[in-house]
Amino acid sequence: MLNNIKQIFEDTHPYDDPTDKVIKRLPKEIVDNYINKTKLRHAGVLFGLQDNGNNNPDLYLTKRSKQLKNHSGEISLPGGTFDQDHDKNIIDTALRESEEEIGLQSEHAEILGFIDPQISLGSGFIVTPLVARIDPSFTPKINTYEVEELFKVPLEFFLDQDNLSHEYRVFDGNKWSVYSYKYEEHYIWGLTAQIIRKFCKNLMQ
């Protein structure tokens, strides 16, 4: 399956202006009432897939430490904020943060492509997900200050639409779609679920 994923995403690339890409697909009232009043920042995350030997790759996810100020205890993809002093581009961001959080060195990650940028409500982040194949030899080294737990979920779990839940929530007076998955004891929702759902849609087109 990873080879098929590589073919699907091989022509994708990070956008020079991901903010513009996000704004173009948002309703005007949300742009006027939220986007134009929010200081937007850029972030990169790693959508890391690893072959499990059954032609069904696993996706790496983290449970954020309860010590963190933002989104503590939530399920997320490895990644973080673009740092103009250290990162040439959003690829550097995703790889640098992944090494900091779970000990993934760049030589253990083969870049396959990119998922369209997504917006994180509340934090004002425009997030670009980097799809990568994780080498089987990768041995995690968790930064316990940032990550409470690193775990893997079979991709086939997310491809099964029966595992996807949807509801509407009101944020700053605007109604937003919120997606979620429940895998074992883990509740995966918000931006992370949104990115996973987008990836699965690309895969099933």
Report helix, strand or coil for 18.
helix
pLDDT of residue 69: 64
Q: Which residues of 186-200 are buried (b: 16+ CB within 10 A; e: fewer)?
A: eebbbbbbbbbbbbb
The first and second tokens of residue 87, run together, are 């990162």
**pTM attached to this predicted model:** 0.93
Instruction: Classify domain 2-204 by CATH architecture.
Output: Alpha-Beta Complex (3.90)
- Given a cut of 70, the residues of the chain with pLDDT beneath it are 69-72, 172
